[in-house]
Amino acid sequence: MNRENTHDNHYMITNVNLFNGQKIEEKQAIIIKNDTISSVISMDEACNLSLQTIDGNGALATSGFIDIQLNGCGGVLLNTDISLSTLATMNKTNLMYGTTQYLPTLITSTEKDLHNTLMMMADFKEAEQKGILGLHLEGPFISIEKKGAHQAQYIRELDLETAQLLAKNSASIKVITIAPEHISQEVLDCLTDADITVSIGHTNATYEEVNTKSGLTMATHLYNAMTPLGSREPGVVGYIFDQKPHAGIIVDGIHASYPSVRIAHQQLKEKLFLVTDAVTPAGTDLTEFDMAGTQAFVTDGKCHYEDGTIAGAAITMIDGVKNLINHVGLSREEALRMASLYPAQALKIDNEYGQLKENYKANITLLDKNNDVTATIQMGKVAYQK
């Protein structure tokens, strides 16, 4: 693959099998103009065109992965260093593992850190070209009882004044994770009216407490930091299985067992999408790291504090895809949909992202037969090649 050929950004990727989001079509070519797919054609048709070409060498072309919950990777963490260089490292690491779009995720922090993150995003004009679809604010408006790795001293309730501030910054905020038992419907409406997706997470709520609220269209890391499904109290897990909002799930074999992931997929189908919830060590061989001010460790792939509390994940999206295929038992196509189409649908951007079709953004991951990433195209540009 020769990236020199793409300087005018009108070129063609040839010799690929293409997963368009529904099915795999063999011997295809993808024509890219600027940051958009202008058409997908057969190799027979491609032979008659005189465009600059990149040979895909028989790889599977799939839509670039979309990670809705990414705290850090490549040795950096957004909470530890709120800067454009952190985002650049996260994007560079993502591209090596097939992720072309993500939501930088700020977990529970001080008001100053939240303000600084919003300011940084408001000033970042190239965000979309660098793979950023907006922020995911995971906290601080969560439940102390289900705080997980979040720092208790910064957890607070979301009042209307703060919600109005977040609504004013809705151009920078895509998702906010909240505990529904600690939020009024008026405050919830303020967020949803601003087109911010409100996700249920880090919650100690009962089924009824969630069911009395409207506008909750997503759930954060299913099973983790929420009340479990019980026979007499369905809990938040029961609410999700029953009402079927979109839900993210971490498929590392640590946050949820593989049979539990399979059960969730049977219940939620296209509403279940893959996330990493990755932190500093993802994409590296680090064994210790700073988790937003607390020392954390990696043992046998598990990120944890000294007391054993899970502190994020060390996987990449392609790791999750492989686990879905090899351990959960999903088809290659369904695993790829969970990494691309379903997150796009959850964010309501599946008219431009999550599929390889005409007029969609040119975000393309090339995979070999072992599902290893051989190249990544981000917004029309060759951004990584093995």
Q: Are residues 379 and 289 in the same domain?
A: no
Q: Does the annotation flag 351 for ligand binding?
A: no
Q: Are residues 37 and 131 in the same domain?
A: no
Q: Are residues 183 and 250 in the same domain?
A: yes
Q: In what order do the strands lie in the sheet with 246-250?
A: 65-70, 99-107, 135-138, 173-178, 197-200, 216-219, 246-250, 272-275
Q: What is the pLDDT at residue 1? A: 56
Q: Are residues 35 and 150 in the same domain?
A: no
Q: Are residues 222 and 327 in the same domain?
A: yes
Q: Does the annotation flag 169 for ligand binding?
A: no
Q: Does the annotation flag 182 for ligand binding?
A: no
Q: What is the pLDDT at residue 292? A: 85
Q: Are residues 240 and 317 in the same domain?
A: yes
Q: 142 lies in which domain range?
A: 65-346
3-state secondary structure of 40: strand
Q: Does the annotation flag 346 for ligand binding?
A: no
Say which amino acid occupies 44.
D
pTM above 0.85, yes or no: yes
Residue identified by tokens 């008026």 is 186
Question: The domain spanning residue 19 has which CATH number?
Answer: 2.30.40.10
Q: Does the annotation flag 37 for ligand binding?
A: no
Q: Does the annotation flag 312 for ligand binding?
A: yes
Give 2's contacts (C-beta < 8 A, 6+ positions apart). Answer: 54
Q: Does the annotation flag 311 for ligand binding?
A: yes
The answer to whether 223 and 255 have CB atoms below 8 angstroms apart is: yes
Question: The domain spanning residue 79 has which CATH number?
Answer: 3.20.20.140
Q: Are residues 251 and 302 in the same domain?
A: yes
Q: Are residues 188 and 141 in the same domain?
A: yes
Q: Are residues 36 and 173 in the same domain?
A: no
In 1-47, where do the E strands start and end?
Answer: 10-19, 24-33, 36-42
Q: What is the pLDDT at residue 6? A: 43
Q: Does the annotation flag 48 for ligand binding?
A: no
The answer to whether 63 and 29 have CB atoms below 8 angstroms apart is: no
Domain count, the chain: 2
Give 362's contacts (C-beta < 8 A, 6+ positions apart). Answer: 30, 32, 35, 36, 37, 377, 379, 380
pLDDT 10s digit of each residue in the chain, 386 long? Answer: 544 444 569 999 999 999 999 999 999 999 999 999 999 999 999 988 999 999 999 999 999 999 999 999 999 999 999 999 999 999 999 999 999 999 999 999 999 999 999 999 999 999 999 999 999 999 999 999 999 899 999 999 999 999 999 999 999 999 999 999 999 999 999 999 999 999 999 999 999 999 999 999 999 999 999 999 999 999 999 999 999 999 999 999 999 999 999 999 999 999 999 999 999 999 999 999 999 889 999 999 999 999 999 999 999 999 999 999 999 999 999 999 999 999 999 999 999 999 999 999 999 999 999 999 999 999 999 999 99
CA dihedral 208, 202, 314, 326 (to 10 degrees): 0
Q: Are residues 295 and 152 in the same domain?
A: yes
Length of the chain in terms of residues written: 386
Q: Are residues 305 and 161 in the same domain?
A: yes
Q: Does the annotation flag 310 for ligand binding?
A: yes
How many Å apart are CA 327 and CA 69, to the nearest integer? 22
**Crossing angle, helix 258-268 and helix 235-243, to 10 degrees?**
40
How many Å apart are CA 14 and CA 22, to the nearest integer? 20
Q: Which residues are catalytic?
A: 277
HEC string for 116-129: HHHHHHHHCCCCHH
Q: What is the pLDDT at residue 8? A: 67
How many Å apart are CA 295 and CA 305, to the nearest integer? 7
Q: Are residues 83 and 183 in the same domain?
A: yes
DSSP 226-266: BPPP-SS--HHHHHHHHH--EEEEE-SSSSS-HHHHHHHHH
